[in-house]
A and B are shown apart, each in its own frame.
Chain A
């Protein structure tokens, strides 16, 4: 299995809703990432998990709450989002060899989130 699977593919939520995005990989990768991508922009790093521990939080608002229940799963819990949070949310994973991401990431196909 060489894929990162993200669910759901599309999500529409109201500003008072609570929802979760899910990401799963079975490649034995020990680093997992959440990125946010707005239209016609590069991905922006949100969170990095390494060996199931949060290692980077890029000053993301608390309405986004990540969780890594085990080495294969990564969740992003959403609560009280704003319309400007509408974007493509990408999950990625990589081998955690020392500090350098030498082999690059494997990305999922993303969840397209619309906040109404």
Chain B
């Protein structure tokens, strides 16, 4: 079945450092890929998405590129802020499975220190 693997956290960075959170996936078809962010005490917010190979999703300074050859969708940001501290979830949706639901990775907690 489909699966998403994320790097273990927590990731602790100083403000203005570069961020990369790795995400790889296994899917039977050609999935759409997503990054969601969850701030403390809140629900999940869609951060960015990509629906086909080589697409780049971007939002709020975050970027991720859909790499079919490496089955990856790594999240990157050039300069993190304290306000970026949250849990980040990589997810996929695969039409080939006929399953109308997202598959989530385990989540990566990001802590940004001033």
Contacts and interface: CB of A to CB of B under 8 A. Distances in A.
Interface of A: 4, 6, 31, 33, 40-43, 45, 48, 50, 55-56, 90, 92, 96, 98-110
Interface residues of B, number: 24
Contact of B101 (A40, A42, A45, A106): A45
Nearest to A56: B101
A54 B79 CA distance: 44
Contact of A101 (B36, B42, B101, B109): B101
Interface of B: 32, 34, 36, 42-46, 49, 51, 89, 93-95, 98-102, 104-107, 109
B106 A41 contact: yes
Contacts of A41: 106-107
B44 A101 contact: no
Contacts of A48: 100-101
A110 B42 contact: yes
B43 A42 contact: no
A40 B107 CA distance: 8
A109 B43 contact: yes
30 contacts: A6-B43, A42-B104, A42-B105, A42-B106, A42-B107, A43-B44, A43-B104, A45-B101, A48-B100, A50-B100, A56-B101, A98-B95, A99-B98, A99-B100, A100-B32, A100-B94, A100-B95, A101-B93, A101-B100, A102-B93, A103-B49, A104-B32, A104-B34, A104-B46, A105-B102, A106-B46, A107-B36, A109-B42, A109-B43, A110-B42
- Looking at chain A's contact residues, the main secondary structure is loop
